[in-house]
Amino acid sequence: MKYFDYAATTPMDSEVLKIYQEVASQYWGNTSSLHNAGTKAEELLENCRNKLASLLNVSARGIYFTSGGTEANQLAITSLAFSQRHKGKHIIASMAEHSSVSSALDYLSDCGFEITKIPYLSNGQLDLAILKQSIQEDTILLTIGHVNGEIGSIQPLEEISRLIKDKNILLHSDCVQSFGKMDLKKICSFVDSISISSHKIYGPKGVGAVYIRPNIHVKGLFPHQSHEHGFRGGTVNTPGIAAFVAAAIQSNQNHWERVNQLRKFFTSKLKNELKGCITIYESETTSQLPHVIGLAINGHEGQWVMLECNRKGFCISTGSACRQGLQAPSKTMVAMGVTEEKQKEFIRISFGKETREEDITALVEALIEISKRTL
């Protein structure tokens, strides 16, 4: 199979896997235990926390390791909301947030919070005019994903932060798609919280982290939890965390020139071969990560195209992997105001370290053949 779904998950790097295995065999103690085995594991854990904090240029006191990006989003958003509810109960998010964010917001809605969701413009950027109009006296939190996972559009977090400056409103950002691909040091200087994940950057699954500015008083959703300073329960995944941080350290943000070339190669071949038969959801080059391409073969349902590609030996997707089993339309397409018919046609192609031009050529040939077939 030729893999074109790196935005969903990545294979584990071989060197990172070695670190995972080494830590699993030598640092297997519970980090909360007071004996030597526990102390040894706890020292490694704190070393990992410090290294990750250094990569983000933040205080290690604000780093909490989690079971992944989903838990990171859910814990951050709910904790921030409950910590600020004495000031108000209004929260703003985009319409295209990851399902883990939507899940946290639905929970908070059931708890009496008011949620406002902001659409995208046709270029995949958040509608800042509507955002500005939606801010209320009792708005306490904005949660805006940094990079959209379905078309790769980069949201203007710095501009958004300026809109709420001096308004006593917190800003959380789901940075799962941007971590390891963009330098987040500047982002961390003006947001209050971010969530990140391991398996998007060639690390193990089941590991992530959330950073919350240490001067914001938050506590876990459940009482009497002892792990991660009481922020979450469950024995810490020490080998997973060590491998996650190793993957983060070696993640190469400088390979985008190659990925940009691959994107241009792919889109130009598609446009030449399927002129008038495809829709590519592109933003300006500077506001879109190049490895994620959202598109549609006009008149062909995305689910069918994905299955046909799979039959021909190509792994693609119809959007976020956390939404696949729901048979729901792409949140991004809905947020952009795309018609219901076009929403159903959406597919996503995403590149990674192993993507080669010859594989892209083969995929284009498969898409051309698929486009000629009728449903």
Q: Which residues are catalytic?
A: 322
Evaluate the CA torsion angle 164, 166, 168, 172 in order and state its sign: positive
Q: What are phi and psi of 153, to 5 degrees?
A: -70, 140
Q: How far apart are CA 95 and CA 143, in angstroms?
A: 11
Q: Exposure pattern of 219-237 as b/e (b: 16+ CB <10 Å)?
A: ebeeeeeebbeebbeeebb
Q: How far apart are CA 202 and CA 219, in angstroms?
A: 30
Q: How far apart are CA 118 and CA 105, in angstroms?
A: 14
Q: How far apart are CA 108 and CA 228, in angstroms?
A: 23
Q: How far apart are CA 172 and CA 43, in angstroms?
A: 29
Residue 151 near residue 94 (C-beta atoms within 8 A):
no
User: Ramachandran region of residue 174, left (φ > 0), alpha (ψ -120 to 50) or beta?
Assistant: beta
Residue 231 near residue 225 (C-beta atoms within 8 A):
yes
Give DSSP secondary structure letters for 40-56.
HHHHHHHHHHHHHHHHH
Q: Where are the beta strands (DSSP E) in 167-249?
A: 170-174, 193-197, 208-212
